[in-house]
Chains A and B, each alone.
Chain A
Amino acid sequence: MAELLTKFPRRRTVLLASLLAVGMTATACSAPGEDRSSTQKSDAAVKTELGTDPITLDMYAETGFPLAKALADEFSKQHSNVKFNIREDQFTVIVENAPRVMASDNSPDIIRLPTMVDLVKDDLLKNLDPYFTAYGWDKFPASQLMQLRVGENTRGTGSLYGMGLGYSVTGVFYNKKLASQIGMTQPPATVAEFEELLAKAKTGGVQPIMQFNKNTAGINFPHQALQNQFGDPTQVADWIFQKPGATFDTPAALKATQTIQKWAQAGYFTKDANALDYAGMVGEFQKGNGLFMFNGDWESANLDKSMPGNVGFFLFPTESPGGKHVAMSAPNTFGVSAKAKNPDAAAYFLNWVHTNAKAREISVTVGGSSPGGPSDLPVPSAAPNTVLAETLKASQQLGAENGAVDFTANATGGIFAAAITPEMQKLIAGQQTPEGYVKAVQAEYQKELSR
């Protein structure tokens, strides 16, 4: 027995070591990722005809947003040879999965995209420039597709890599009953007026802002809304597009952060904001537990259903009276995978979404967003007296004022999770100073860009 006890562990060690060695030699010969062959095919000729051969388009879309499926169904109705195979995941899951799914052999044709720069760097996205020319997308307002362009490690210029299934606008939803209760007769015209309303609500016993800040920082919405007004919005856009030399450490960002801190201290956000998630926020707002909610038009149709006639919307007011409105507005970006089996059909679908009358109507009624597309096409109208009609109007107003900017949360792949969210949670709990917040976000940004 003693012999076994001394002998066995040694034998086991030898065995383990040899197994590890086998594993090492099997895997450690080359650096990870080295065996990947380049997937980008040449973009010689593109077809703008759909043909009549049966086609199945694989689509990877976002759970909870029925627009993609609705458009796919209508497309199949109009083109009987095209079927869709749709896989859905939550957006955060898509963010995490997209690179690996697109690098796999079963890469989808059309995919809902998070940030694009990394995907382009890794050759995972199809360059849509040939389709841009072939379909004449130059007739779209240039600003519409700007966020979807990727150049040398920056966004905003360069080649086109995505299209929007609807173009969203963000602003402030308000509860009309609570608004009249505190004497708000019309949307505020300036930031100062907005702050007056917040104070009035607070003293009147009405929760001024219902905003989530768990998992991801929902309070970044009001923060950026303020930041857009306190400085030159192109500075914000440059930072998001990773233009060389752009920084978050600006007087505008600092003033915005100080304002958020002031609001938090005044109790304008709920005490449990750091424990409130997105669904919780929408639920509380629908129940009438908050006057304002910073959110986007993707909730319009839902809010019209849950609180009909009791909800309004306005673009975040300007700092000085009569100033230019600026709002976060982003396409619901879909791209074509570099490994797509049917890239031509995918591009045909994307073009159809922007130009077909029925598709544009679906974008509005189901997606709640502006359909985009050529400026000479009419925008379908929504039912009167709905918040959907208000967000649609706001979207057109923003287009006319040329005030759309992307979300600061989209600046880099990790900035939202690694810096904005934890630091914002600290800020509103009094654990971080405004100066510290601005510096921490910029530090993470630089760290990511240096990789």
Chain B
Amino acid sequence: MTSALGSAPTGHDDRRARPTPTRAHRFRWARAAGTGWLYVLPALVMYAVFVLRPLVLTLQYSLYDWNGIGVARWVGLDNYLTVFTDSDLLKIIGNAMVLIVFFSFIPVALGLLVASMVRRITTGAFGTVVRTILFLPQVIPLVAAGIAWSWLLSSNGLVNQALRAVGLGGVARAWLGDFDTALPAVGVIGAWVLLGLCTILLVTGMSKIDPALYEAARLDGAGPVREFLAVTLPSLRQEIGVCLTVTIIAALASFDIVYISTSGGPGLQTTVPGLEIYRLAFSQRQVGLASALAVVLMLLVLACVLPIQRLSRGEKQ
């Protein structure tokens, strides 16, 4: 890898002791680096235009009071102050936090359980069928999933029909329209979508674990629970890290499912930052405040995800 980058192997790693590169060395390095840059240039241009530029613009907009058309007014950090003091916006951020439980913790926990169960049947036609069924929710567009679930959860939907059939008609309600159940109901939809993804990732991770470890554990007299805690869980550290990262981002940045199933209602019960940013920017035309909320959301995602990245990698390095 070092030689690929052009710096000649010196035999020792101490940077201060490194001999000054000769002219030829330098030329070779520059040419190789230049070619390297050329290769990444297309991707870099796309990245700059579609990621960096919007990012910078969002940062800039967040410092203005702007309706998206007319001339903007500089307001400094006022928009951020609003984000952190407006009780509605704080509630909306809180909703996203609640969704983490449903979008992230539940799928990962259930995924571990399901993966341990299906681990032994990963081969053969049956294994393929199981994997396909588990992964299916991930393939279905979120909008379709949202529509299907809002039918299931409607007052005369399948869920309530089933409840009435077993004599629990008293519990039946419009799950997505009820103040107490709307957010958990949205959470259930998210858990359903993300369970398959987590399970597949975890099954794949489990298939990489050396069977000798299980054998050794069994010889030492470990039962299935002990086996799971001592062998499976530690070996899956990185996969769990990936699962948590992906699902926490899905929770914090959720939009499609919420927009389709509840539109953020009733009240603000299921409004999440993603939905609010869109509403503020496009329907209420407060581009500045929407941008500030977007920046806060980005920082929130980083604050949640970076420690997980560190924890899941930590030991290996």
Contacts and interface: CB of A to CB of B under 8 A. Distances in A.
A214 B265 contact: yes
A392 interface: no
A118 B285 contact: yes
B160 to A, nearest CB: 10
Interface stretch (A19-27, A128-136, A165-173, A329-337): A19-27
B315 interface: no
B174 A20 contact: no
Contacts of A26: 53
- Chain A interface category by residue count: 35 or more
Interface stretch (B70-78, B118-126, B188-196, B222-230): B70-78
B69 A275 contact: no
Contacts of B174: 271-272, 274-276
B68 interface: yes
Contact of A32 (B55, B61, B178, B284): B61
A214 B262 contact: yes
Interface string A95-108: 11101100100000
A320 B297 CA distance: 54
A53 interface: no
Interface string A73-93: 000000000000000000010
Interface stretch (A41-49, A220-228, A301-309, A420-428): A420-428
Given A417-B283, A426-B266, A36 B155 contact: no
Interface in B1-46: 1-2, 5, 7, 13, 15
B71 A36 contact: yes
A418 B280 CA distance: 9
Given A429-B266, A429-B267, A276 B177 contact: yes
Interface of A: 1-4, 19-20, 22-24, 26-28, 31-34, 36, 92, 95-97, 99-100, 103, 118, 121-122, 124, 213-215, 270-276, 413-414, 417-418, 421-423, 425-426, 429, 431-432, 448, 451
Contacts of B154: 272, 275
B72 A23 contact: no
B265 A4 contact: no
A26 B54 CA distance: 12
A413 B283 contact: yes
Given A33-B66, A414-B284, A451-B67, 9 more contacts: A3-B2, A4-B1, A27-B57, A31-B66, A33-B69, A33-B71, A214-B263, A275-B174, A417-B279
Most buried by B among A23, A124, A451: A23
16 contacts: A1-B13, A2-B13, A4-B2, A20-B55, A22-B48, A31-B73, A100-B69, A122-B70, A124-B69, A274-B177, A421-B265, A425-B266, A426-B266, A426-B267, A431-B179, A451-B286
A3 B71 contact: no
A23 B155 contact: no
A413 B67 CA distance: 11
Contacts of A118: 67, 285
B267 A27 contact: no
Contact of A413 (B65, B177, B271, B284): B284
Contacts of A432: 267
B64 A32 contact: yes
Contacts of A100: 68-69
Interface of B: 1-2, 5, 7, 13, 15, 48, 52-53, 55-57, 60-61, 64-74, 150, 154-155, 173-179, 262-268, 271, 279, 282-287
- Contact residues of B: prevailing secondary structure: loop
A-B pairs, 5 with minimum CB distance: A275-B177, A272-B174, A274-B177, A414-B284, A23-B56
A429 B56 CA distance: 42
A28 B56 contact: yes
Given A4-B1, A413-B284, A414-B283, A32 B263 contact: no
A122 B69 CA distance: 7
Contacts of A24: 56, 60
Given A214-B263, A425-B265, A31 B285 contact: no
B265 A99 contact: no
A273 B298 CA distance: 35
Given A275-B174, A422-B265, A31 B72 contact: yes
A121 B265 CA distance: 31
A274 B265 CA distance: 8
Given A23-B52, A32-B66, A275-B155, A425 B267 contact: yes
Contacts of B284: 413-414, 417-418, 448
A215 B1 contact: no
A23 B155 CA distance: 51
B69 A36 contact: yes
Contacts of B177: 214, 272-276
B13 A99 contact: no
Most buried by A among B55, B176, B264, B283: B283
B178 A274 contact: yes
Most buried by B among A20, A92, A124: A20
A23 B154 CA distance: 48
Given A275-B174, A429-B179, A103 B283 contact: no
